[in-house]
Chains A and B, each alone.
Chain A
Amino acid sequence: MKKLLMATAACVSIPLAAFAQDKPESLKVGVSAFLTGPASVFGVPAKDAAEILAEDINAAGGIQGVPIELTFIDEGAGTEVLTTEYRRLVENGADAMLAAISSGNCKTIAPLAEDLEVINLMWDCGTQTIFEEDDYKYVFRTQAHAGTEMLATVAYLLKTQPDFQTIAVVNQDYAWGRDSWDIFSAALKALRPDVEVVGEFFPKFGSPDFSTEISRLQAMQPDIILSTSWGGDLDTFVQQASQRGLTNTSTFVLPLAESSLERLGSSLPGGHIVGARGDHYWNHPERRDDEDFKAFMAKFEEKTGSKAIYPVFHMSQGLAALEAAYDKAAEANGGNWPSEDQVIAAFEGLEFQGLGRPVTLREDHQGIEAQLLGTSVQGGDLPFATLENIMIFDGAELTTPVGETSVEWVGSLQPGWVDTLTVDSYEN
């Protein structure tokens, strides 16, 4: 019976939506995020952020006078459940979707969004392959991808530690851990062909114990230890390494550690390289004095008791993109509520700003996002590490050109390329 009613409702509403572009009562947005499982360290703060941001948008009158209404899907329940829920939301009239966190889910969702003809903003997808392997009409990425993020990490490493000779890697044994190392090592080989890779470890995802790897690394004594791990895995690895003094003998390069700083507390000593998958940091040197930034950070801390981490920034970019696209499309439509095609047209070349620097969408729908890295430092007023020697890289110079694949492109870079980059440096 319920199905029948829903089908009837759908039949009635579809023709209406197609003909009259009256303002809807609300703009329905579906958001997928991990609310359970290990990756909920990202999904839960992102959901909190989305709720605050939606409240702010609605308090200011909504998007073109239309309030937004968020519905969340838990990615932690598995791909099967995610796609079912995704379909259900779209069939119930969702106007736009923000999905997803997991790269695997992103690869599933992108063609699905295309089939369902719904605007999908990839708000936190890492995999660089989405737009390198396929063209999409409805799918946009409102942030950088793994290629940009890894290249920024290599650039920061080469700028701050120009003389290192040996490197070892300890990444999680799944798509992200493997792919990020492929890009990182290809870039390193091109830019510093003399560096020797002395160890490659891929402990299983969710490993509770890195003791053996740490013993092995202490015996090897590499100059640099890279780990693109995140969440509990990264926390465990850094804590165990710090307990056994490995953090005193090697410099750690941790491209996702910005999301772990507060949990790691005093376990991450000073002098290690910390990345944030974009220009994301609760004390963003270019944004920390802006009123909107300060107001949001205060609300977020009040709601969650924690500092904002990168998924919060990514969520802000996703929602900012949506708002900017509707505003731009409405303007082009003479101030009237735009059709879906008009909104899609507005996304091309769109510039929008979340909590970081402005982001632009390229013609292949890839976002160009600045990258922030810094070096950890202890001993401030806070009981955890903050960042010093911060560099913000221009995203365009680090992003694989349209039509090329990341691993090949970074592999074609020449030594000395790092010196040509546009960088803004800040002491802290």
Chain B
Amino acid sequence: MNLTLFLLALFDGIAYAALVFIVAVGLTLIFGVMRILNVAHGSLYAMGAYLTASLTTFIVAAGLPPIFAFPCMLVSAVLIGAVIGGPLEWLLLRRIYHKPEVLQLLVTFAIFMILEDVQRLVWGTQPIFQSAALQLLGNVRVFSVNYTVYQLILLPMVAVALLLGLRFFLRRTVAGKLIVATTEDREAAQAIGIDADKVFLLTFIVGAGLAGLGGALASPTTSILPGIGADMIVLSFAVVATAGLGQIEGAALTALLIGLGRSFAVYVWPETQVLVPYLIMVAVLLVRPEGLFGSPAARKI
């Protein structure tokens, strides 16, 4: 492998990692705060993608310039968070926080199945492709290989901005500090007057919105069809588990590890491409069962 190929693999890995991180960070945020493994995250991702594609198709058909595809992504993410995420937490999840984990998993899985069928009802089964946003930004040529500006530059920029933004939000703003406090110790937080219900609702809306944003950003790069949600949720779980549940920086690092591992696999030994993310997960969890950034939890008596 010469330097050119090495760099090409590096670029591919970073572009892929960016997207994986955006989806996984929402999942890890929800888990960190609410201690719920939200399987429905995959459906929210898929619906974000479908919604963006529909909105973009609509505005392009209405004769508006394709630059409006970008606001469509944000609108979709907000809609997914507020219109689907909000009621989900308020009507359903709120009732199961004190129930066994198995039940929580089954409930979110049921939501996932229901939303999968909703997608089929609304958008049908034929693959949809809407790449106006990606085409608008054009290509960039690196070592005689064309990359899309969207994947090579925009997605990593969004991922970094999101990482920094979330860090700032959680550590420097009041709402963020309330979330962190509730994460650390829910009972103590409630004792000093934090409205934990409100914090949970806010977190779930943000987390669901991030899933929607991941889908929205992925939508111009790929065919949207039934089943994409299931695919993404499996990979996101791998990232979240490897990172340590609830670890945002960990999710970023793991997404990068998995993205790079996968792209180098394609260059060196394509047969192992599918295996690599899970090999990385197994390797990390063997050495650190609590994940890269996770800390062993003290059991409360």
| Contacts from A to B (Cβ < 8 Å) | 35-38, 40-41, 44, 173, 199-204, 206, 208-209, 211-213, 215-216, 218-219, 231-233, 235-236, 239-240, 243-246, 263, 267
Contact = CB atoms under 8 A, between A and B. Distances in A.
15 contacts: A41-B126, A206-B228, A208-B218, A208-B222, A208-B228, A212-B12, A212-B13, A212-B262, A219-B144, A235-B129, A236-B127, A239-B223, A243-B135, A244-B147, A263-B129
A243 B131 contact: yes
Contacts of B146: 218, 244-246
Interface string B148-171: 100100000000000000000000
B227 A206 contact: yes
Interface stretch (B92-100, B184-192, B268-276): B268-276
Interface string B1-42: 000110011011101100100000000000000000000000
Interface string B256-275: 00000011001100110110
A194 to B, nearest CB: 24
B231 A206 contact: yes
Given A173-B274, A211-B16, 14 more contacts: A37-B227, A41-B127, A44-B125, A203-B274, A208-B221, A208-B228, A211-B12, A212-B266, A212-B267, A231-B127, A236-B223, A244-B145, A245-B139, A267-B129
A36 B113 CA distance: 13
Contacts of B225: 38, 231-232
Interface string B84-126: 0000000000000000000000000000000000001000011
Given A38-B227, A215-B145, A216-B266, A209 B221 contact: yes
A173 B218 CA distance: 22
A218 B129 CA distance: 23
A263 B274 contact: no
Nearest to A203: B273
Contacts of B13: 212
B105 to A, nearest CB: 21
Interface in B237-280: 262-263, 266-267, 270-271, 273-274
Contact of A232 (B139, B223, B271): B223
B226 A219 contact: no
Contacts of A37: 226-227
B134 interface: yes
A41 B227 contact: no
Given A41-B125, A243-B148, A244-B147, A216 B267 contact: yes
Given A36-B120, A206-B231, A235 B139 contact: no
A232 B127 CA distance: 6
Nearest to B142: A215
B270 A201 contact: yes
A204 B273 contact: yes
Nearest to B117: A36
A213 B120 CA distance: 30
A364 B12 CA distance: 49
A243 B223 contact: no
B131 A40 contact: no
A236 B16 contact: no
B125 to A, nearest CB: 4
Contact of B263 (A40, A206, A212, A232): A212
B129 A38 contact: no
Nearest to A217: B145
A267 B127 CA distance: 14
B50 to A, nearest CB: 13
A394 to B, nearest CB: 33
Contact of A40 (B9, B125, B144, B267): B125
Contacts of B5: 219
A204 B139 contact: no
A209 B126 CA distance: 18
Contacts of B274: 173, 203-204
Interface centre among A201, A211, A240 (most CB of B within 10 A): A211
Contacts of B16: 209, 211-212
B198 to A, nearest CB: 36
A36 B125 contact: yes
B78 to A, nearest CB: 23
B276 to A, nearest CB: 11
Interface in B193-242: 218, 221-223, 225-228, 231-232
Contacts of A208: 218, 221-223, 228, 231-232
Given A202-B270, A206-B227, A263 B127 contact: yes
Contacts of A216: 8, 266-267
Contacts of B218: 208
A216 B6 CA distance: 11
A200 B270 contact: yes
A201 B146 CA distance: 19
Contact of A239 (B131, B263, B267): B131
A105 B270 CA distance: 28
A40 to B, nearest CB: 4
Contacts of A219: 4-5, 8, 143-145
A44 B9 CA distance: 39
Contact of B9 (A212, A233, A236, A263): A212
